[in-house]
Amino acid sequence: EPEVTQTPSHQVTQMGQEVILRCVPISNHLYFYWYRQILGQKVEFLVSFYNNEISEKSEIFDDQFSVERPDGSNFTLKIRSTKLEDSAMYFCASRLGVETQYFGPGTRLLVL
């Protein structure tokens, strides 16, 4: 069964460093998303992406964040200058159209 994959599974970085989280959505899907979950809190929407542009973004998704689909398979989330409060699980998701959104296993980001 096709699934969304994410790398790395864990990332430790120093405050102020740039990180890139990578996702491979399900191959024929058209809509892509990033969510995050701070430890002990609920899953929060960050950004949606369709047709090579951002469809919607939340207040969390400020100028420090960017997304890119550099080729036909990868979907990346970049945090330019990480802050302590960026420590969280980051989930990628994709959907084909009006059907179900499928989530990846997540990347645990720890900013020291």
Binding site for another protein (CB under 8 A): 4, 31, 33, 35, 37, 39, 42-45, 48, 50, 55-56, 89, 91, 93, 95, 98, 100-106, 108
User: What's 83's DSSP letter?
Assistant: -
State in angstroms the smallest separation of the CB of 71 from another protein: 21
Give whichever of 45 and 64 is closer to another protein, judged by the CB atom: 45
State in angstroms the smallest separation of the CB of 31 from another protein: 5
Task: For residue 89, give every residue at least 6 positions away whose Cβ sits within 8 Å of its Cβ, in sequence order, or none.
Answer: 36, 37, 39, 106, 107, 108, 109
Between the alpha carbon of residue 90 and those of residues 2, 52, 105, the distances in Å are 20, 20, 9
Give whichever of 21 and 106 is closer to another protein, judged by the CB atom: 106
d(Cα 87, Cα 76) in Å, to the nearest integer?
17
State in angstroms the smallest separation of the CB of 86 from another protein: 16
